[in-house]
Chain A
Amino acid sequence: MSGRTLFDKLWDAHVVARAEGGRSLLWVDRHLVHEGSHHAFAKIGARGETLAQPELTFGVMDHYAPVRRDVPPMPAVLKMMERLADNAALHGFTCIAPEDQRHGIVHVMAPEQGLTLPGLLVVCGDSHTSTHGAFGAFAFGIGATEVAHVLATQTLWQQKPKRMRLRFDGALGPAVTAKDMALHWIAALGTGGARGHAIEYAGPAVEALSMEARMTLCNLSIEGGARCGMIAPDAQTLAYVKGRIHAPTGAAWAEAEADWAGLYSDTDAVFDTEVDIDAADVAPTVTWGTAPDQALPITATVPDPLAQPETTAAKTRDTLEYMGLKPGQALSEVTVDRIFIGSCTNARIEDLRAAAMVLHGRKSVVPGLVSPGSAQVKHQAEREGLDNVFTEAGLDWGGSGCSMCVGMNGDTVPAGQRCASTTNRNYRGRQGRGARTHLMSPSMVAAAAVTGRLTDVRMLLAGRA
């Protein structure tokens, strides 16, 4: 028998029952819910169900949470938050409100609180749940019917995905980040490139990433079509987890450490798909289109439909029209109208430090919002004086929440405006009707703020990094 991959081990440890047709019933260790989970609560309410394991269910008000103090929240937003608080009270699970010190975007908050651990199965009604895979957890997003199923049974039916290993060999160049690695591989493989797969990220360039950067890399797994993404836990993972409020202690910690030591892919394990990328080939990358795989190095030019086969040319033409770009135009000539630094992809303390390094002592020539990923990140940033760097540059310093990643709380980009954004989706209308989104790393967004154009951040870091 050949060895097992990390993913096989996680899968096997959670199988409760197997059904015909290949589906397995899996046990869920952590279920994260938010205001957007209201459909699921309505469903179990209509069936008269109670929660199977309220102590494994954690709620946070992030999707609709207001992040600007100067803008009063819309009544619909308040109603959404109230609905979650009511459900938490009714069903007896922990629920974190925006004024709570533990508050944050669900995928930032849970690791901070020690809820995310290696070896766990984590689900949430948000597709970027893959973030938690950075700890060697099996974590994925689910729909409302599945959320209702987990609430009622603490289990979920799943078809086992295929296994993919995505290796980054060598080392990243200066100012190249996990965000660039993600956009790079998604552009190389396409939005469907990892469809039906569980990805394990591996190789020296992945091992060299901090925990926060690993979260960014795993966060974007879904944008390449993957079910989830993960990285085998190492000493760094354990150091991050140890001592956090909900992490195991004493004998339980010792037992956990012993169990986690087995969380790696055996040398003779077989993957269904293997992809190798040279980390040195990854450049600071930006998206130019309306899907995450429409990404290019900042030094490149906008694709020209005339140089493409007719099948793709029509799509490119349509995309360029929506984005207001000219074929063959240099990306570094594209002007932006505003910037956004935030979201579960890139709003942790290292992200804010990277952006502040570029913005320090400089002005942003466009308006923009910086929304820290959690209250803890906000607090830490203020201790380090990063908030002053942002406000002195002319940017707004807000609270934590999903904000302009999805625009549910009313923070949107006006139609026709172009936004340099650290978020994860550049779909049409994602940041507001007619909004034009360019995805990039926090330091690249900061560079765009300084020049008012998409900019190679490496030129602004001379003497700084």
Chain B
Amino acid sequence: MRGWTELEGPVVRLPRDGIDTDQLIPARFMSTPRSEGYGDYLLHDLRRGPDGTLDPEFPLNASRGPILIAGADFGTGSSREAAVYALVDAGIRAVLAPSFGDIFAANAANNGLLTVALAEKTLAALRPVLRIDLVSRSIVSGPTSLRFDLDEVTAQKLINGWDDIDLTRAHQDAISAHRETIPAWVWPTCVRGGKGAPP
């Protein structure tokens, strides 16, 4: 995964609350390997009619851009990371919304997708083209610039395209030490290779 530091581009507005993960990507597309790309599945049933044709009025069909501004409760629902894949594969790098589902936000950070929670009023005032800077944590909208919160780890992951596995390897000694302190009852009984006693 490639990281990014700065992003400039047009905004697509999706003025709906509660865009949940089942809408972001219907379950029937999730058996596809990621290498085939998930962009076409993004909001599939909202963007397309029952016969599969694109609705020209729908926001993401009418215009494209790397920044999505959406309503509250964006990405609530299931843990399916495919919801993030669909956004990223459709070229979106940042979602700005009043609130997000917890698991969705964690999944986003692991795939180079920035999520920023901002008040509805603030979102409404943003211009059609924005610049986002991860280092200064700022969104530049015309003459104004606003700061957003982003913890250092998430910022580093987005900027460097890092994977947590790399970060965790540095703690291998602590992991091994912890493993030794685990009580015997935790290890499942009757499992091949398990430490638990057989009955």
B is bound to A: yes
Which residues of A approach B to under 8 Å, CB–CB? Answer: 16-17, 19-23, 25, 27, 29-30, 36, 38-39, 42, 47, 49, 54-56, 64, 76-77, 79-80, 92, 94, 114-115, 117, 119-120, 125-127, 141-146, 148-149, 152-155, 157, 191-192, 195-196, 225, 227, 245-253, 255-256, 259, 290-291, 315, 406-408, 415, 425, 427-430, 433-434
Contact with A along B71-114 (1 / 0, CB 8 A): 01100111111101100000000000001011100110011000
One of A149, A196, A248 near B196 (C-beta < 8 A): A248
Q: Name the distance in Å between B30's Cβ and chain A's nearest Cβ.
A: 7
Q: Is A246 in contact with B186, judged by CB distance below 8 angstroms?
A: no
B31, CB-defined interface residue at 8 Å = yes
Query: Are B189's CB and A247's CB within 8 A?
Result: yes
A17 near B174 (CB under 8 angstroms)? yes
Given known pairs A19-B153, A144-B107, the reply for A125 and B79 (CB within 8 Å) is: yes
A404 to B196, CA, bound (A): 37
Q: Are B102 and A433 in contact (CB under 8 A)?
A: no
B189 with A246: CB separation less than 8 A: yes
Determine whether the beta carbon of A428 is less than 8 Å from that of B192: no
Interchain CA distance A353-B33 in the complex, whole Å: 40
8 examples of A-B residue contacts, CB within 8 angstroms? A25-B168, A125-B79, A142-B79, A143-B107, A145-B163, A248-B189, A425-B78, A428-B22
Inter-chain contact A245/B189, CB cutoff 8 Å:
yes
Interface residues of B (CB under 8 A from A): 17-18, 20, 22-23, 26-28, 30-31, 33-34, 45, 50, 72-73, 76-82, 84-85, 99, 101-103, 106-107, 110-111, 151-153, 163-165, 167-169, 171, 174-175, 178-179, 182-197, 199
**What is the bound-complex CA distance between A77 and B28, given in angstroms?**
10
Chain B contacts for A80, CB-based, 8 A? 31
Extra contacts, 15 of them, besides A56-B194, A406-B27 (Cβ < 8 A), are A21-B152, A23-B153, A27-B175, A39-B34, A56-B187, A56-B188, A77-B31, A115-B188, A143-B110, A192-B99, A291-B18, A407-B27, A415-B50, A427-B22, A433-B26
B79:A126 contact, CB within 8 angstroms: yes
A291 CA to B73 CA in the complex, in Å? Answer: 11
Contacts of A249 in B (CB 8 A): 189, 197, 199
Q: Find A64's partner among B31, B182, B197 (CB 8 Å cutoff).
A: B31
User: Do the beta carbons of A20 and B152 come within 8 Å of each other?
Assistant: yes
Partner of A144, one of B77, B81, B188: B81
Whole-angstrom CA separation of A21 from B190 in the bound complex: 40
Partner of A433, one of B45, B99, B107, B185: B45
CA distance A125 to B30 in the complex (A): 13
User: Nearest residue in A to B195 (C-beta to C-beta)?
Assistant: A55
Asked if residues A141 and B171 are in contact (CB atoms below 8 Å), the reply is no
Partner of A250 from B22, B27, B188, B197 at Cβ < 8 Å: B197
Residues of B within 8 A of A146 (CB): 106-107, 110, 164
Closest B residue to A159 using CB positions: B151
The CA of A195 and the CA of B75, in the complex, are separated in Å by 13
- Most A CB contacts (10 A, CB to CB) among B23, B45, B102 go to B102
Shortest distance from the beta carbon of A434 to any chain B beta carbon, whole Å: 8
Q: Which chain B residues border A120 with CB–CB below 8 Å?
A: 186
Which residues of chain B are within 8 angstroms of A192 by Cβ–Cβ distance? 72-73, 76, 99
Interchain CA distance A146-B165 in the complex, whole Å:
9
Residues of chain B lying within 8 A (CB to CB) of residue A20? 152-153
A219 to B18, CA, bound (A): 20
Q: For residue A30, which residues in chain B have a CB less than 8 angstroms away from its CB?
A: 188
- Asked, given contacts A153-B168, A155-B168, whether A429 binds B197 with beta carbons under 8 Å apart, the answer is no
Residue of B nearest to A30 (CB): B188
Bound: A120/B183 CA distance, A:
11
Contact A255 B183 (CB under 8 A): yes
- Chain B residues in 8 Å Cβ range of A19: 153
Q: Which residues of B contact A290 (CB under 8 A)?
A: 18
Q: Whole-angstrom distance between the alpha carbons of A29 and B152 in the complex?
A: 28
CB pair A143 B81 closer than 8 Å: yes
The contact of B185 among A21, A227, A256, by CB within 8 Å, is A256
Instruction: Enumerate chain B residues within 8 angstroms of A27, measured Cβ to Cβ.
Output: 175, 178-179, 182
Contacts of A77 in B (CB 8 A): 31
Assess the B165–A47 pair: CB atoms within 8 A.
yes
Which residues of B lie under 8 Å from residue A21 when comparing CB positions?
Answer: 151-153
Residues of chain A within 8 A (CB-CB) of B194 are 55-56
Give CA–CA (A428, B19) in the complex, Å: 10
How far is it, in angstroms, between the C-alpha of A401 and the C-alpha of B15 when the chains are bound?
A: 36
Bound together, the chains give a CA A253 to CA B194 distance in angstroms of 16
* Chain A residues with CB below 8 A from B182, complex form: 27, 29
- The answer to whether A149 and B174 touch (CB under 8 A), given A143-B106, A408-B30, is no
> CB distance B31 to A127 under 8 Å?
no
**In the assembled complex, which residues on chain B have CB atoms less than 8 Å from the CB atom of A144?**
81-82, 107
Question: In the bound complex, what is the Cα–Cα distance between A74 and B73 (angstroms)?
Answer: 34
Complex: A19 Cα to B170 Cα, angstroms: 11
Compute how far the CA of A149 lies from the CA of B107 in the bound complex, rounded to whole angstroms: 12
Chain B contacts for A406, CB-based, 8 A: 27
CA–CA, A177 and B22, complex, Å? 27
Whether A94 and B192, one on each chain, are in contact in the complex, defined by CB atoms closer than 8 angstroms, is: yes
A55 lies within 8 A of B34 (CB): no
Q: Quick one: closest B residue to A20, CB to CB? A: B152
B185 engages A255 (CB within 8 Å)? yes
Point out the residues of chain B lying under 8 angstroms from A256, CB to CB.
Answer: 183, 185
Q: 4 tightest A-B contacts by CB?
A: A143-B107, A145-B110, A256-B185, A144-B81
Contact present for B165 and A49 (CB under 8 Å) = yes
Q: Tell me whether A408 and B22 are in contact (CB under 8 A).
A: no
Contact check, A36 vs B184: say whether CB atoms are below 8 A apart.
Answer: no
Determine if B34 and A433 form an interchain contact, defined as CB atoms under 8 angstroms apart: no
